[in-house]
Chains A and B, each alone.
Chain A
Amino acid sequence: MTRDVAVLGAGMHPWGKWGRGFVEYGVAAARAALEEAGADWRDVDSVVGADTVRAGYPGYVAGATFAKALGWQGARVTSVYAACASGAQAISTARAQILAGLADVVLVVGADAAPKGFFRPAGGDRPDDPDWLRFRVLGATNPAYFGLYARRRMALHGDTLEDFAQVKVKNAASGALNPNARYRSPVSADDVAASAVVADPLRLLDICATSDGGAALVLSSMEYARRHGAASPVRIRAVSTVTPSYPNTVLDLPDIATDSAVGKEPEGPGFRGSIARAAYEEAGIGPEDLSLAEVYDLSTALELQWYEDLGLCAAGEAAKLLREGATAPGGRIPVNPSGGLASFGEAVPAQAIAQVCELTWQLRGTTGARQVAGARVGLTANQGLFGHGSSVVAVR
């Protein structure tokens, strides 16, 4: 139990396309989290920012940018970047500082102001950068990789376009109940089928958009939480930030090829599976203990992939699990009760933090119409470009 850290407060700036700067979203989220925690900003010992690469220098030093905007008060500062996993790295850093006794109260913030359209690499010729190369040589956008994974699932496991559409239908229904979601209208399978194909076989409504948004958490030691009247707070019990194991034999963004398996036989569950395994081991739980999961549904098909990688079902059985309603609200293991990326759109450095905000509110039982009844244990999962695992286990 001494390895737990308390979640004193969670806060978000609603996702959308607001056209303002990331600092404003981050500060709004931070203030909301501090208010929920009943903490004063000046009580925070350490601030950890998840960086955005789309806002110039202030984005690269997000921790200091947020600290300055909130009013310099001398806190220890850290800024981290790990693509889509940046938020989990920020949480991991905060937790390590608390467990090491370096800080009692840590504020974690991530926010982004997203551009329109496809994510694209920064300008300039960079033939040594795999992210630049995949655009220059192949025109391979993120949805292209999602299309490859989806087509492979259809061939290997018999997933259908209807299955993919039903993931969107499920998540849109939940997102419609979430005031922080960007898309709050129900979506039908016909709507998905009528949307334009972006990267065969995936359509526009199979693929998550990019959004503005901000999310923040106030974390503390269990001892501090008790002293300040939080007798039974939501606790973070595990944070997995693992890298892949060579050879990584699944084509990952932004790579042009996999590792070769000639020199070393692949072992273990593959990268995504290993992200979850590390989280389960650290928390001392298994998939059967989960009340809910928030997974990175960059595409509808990718959500199905996560079911298998998290061990919610056997390989190839994700579509069956979905069809049975097990991952829907009221099912055995609801997935993405927040509405997921399907309803939010991705705000890169905020998204993994937002996942933990949802766990926090679900475990407290304060999410109203989208509440998972009796939620006790929640897990988040995501994977950042360039080999960044991200999974958080929270318990109540």
Chain B
Amino acid sequence: MARTSTPVVAGWFTGAGEDFRLLGTECPACSSVFFPREDGMCRNPGCACDDLVEVPLSRRGRVWSYTDARYRPPAPYVSDPELPWEPRALVAVELAAERIVVLGQAALGVSVSDLDIGMEVEVVAGVLDEEGDEDTGTAWTTWHWRPTGVTA
């Protein structure tokens, strides 16, 4: 047995491994893409469409900017107060096809010194935090950005 994997937010991503994707919604009338997903109305003020459809976002994008959290973020962020805080990098990534910038944590082990603006990154499945014991607990899953090794 292992902890049960549960997305930290339902409907924001899907799949595993190479098939992991962020999920947004797209307006069939004006092509606007929304992440986090809009399931009601299109937010383009010139568009009255209210029938948005789910769409996977591009797997790869380029770093728009990055930073990190050198101090433990407050709740509702979850971290083990027993363990020393390890700085966590945050990456804002521009997806060319969607013309959108999406923020996410960098994959574990990626620090700001590994990042550069314009660098190519890809979205990967990650674990945000775990609660409960090994058998009956929950692993809250999320998306992470990881450099592909390809530089602009």
Contact = CB atoms under 8 A, between A and B. Distances in A.
Interface string B89-128: 1101000011111111100000010001110000000001
B138 interface: no
Interface size class of A (residues with CB under 8 A): 35 or more
A150 B90 CA distance: 13
A96 interface: no
Contacts of A198: 70-71
Interface stretch (A128-136, A160-168, A218-226): A128-136
Contacts of A135: 73-77
A258 B101 contact: yes
B20 interface: no
A314 interface: no
A167 B118 CA distance: 27
Interface string B54-75: 0000000000111111110111
Nearest to A266: B99
Contacts of B69: 139-141, 144, 199
Interface string A73-91: 0000000000000000000
A137 interface: yes
A138 B104 contact: yes
A284 interface: no
A117 interface: yes
Interface in B17-62: 27, 30-36, 42-47
B88 interface: yes
Contacts of A259: 32, 43, 100
A262 B46 CA distance: 13
Contacts of B70: 196-200
Task: Give the interface SS of chain B, mostly helix, strand, loop or mixed.
Answer: loop
Interface string A106-142: 0000000000011011010101001011111111110
A285 interface: no
B43 A251 contact: no
A132 B116 CA distance: 28
Interface in B72-88: 73-79, 88
Contacts of A152: 64-65, 117
B9 interface: yes
A170 interface: no
A317 B79 CA distance: 41
B44 A256 contact: no
B67 to A, nearest CB: 3
Contact of A262 (B33, B65, B92): B33
B114 to A, nearest CB: 12
Given A144-B69, A263-B30, 15 more contacts: A118-B73, A136-B8, A138-B104, A139-B88, A141-B73, A147-B68, A151-B67, A152-B64, A198-B70, A200-B70, A255-B103, A260-B34, A260-B100, A262-B97, A264-B46
10 contacts: A127-B9, A139-B79, A139-B105, A148-B65, A150-B67, A200-B68, A251-B64, A262-B33, A263-B44, A264-B32
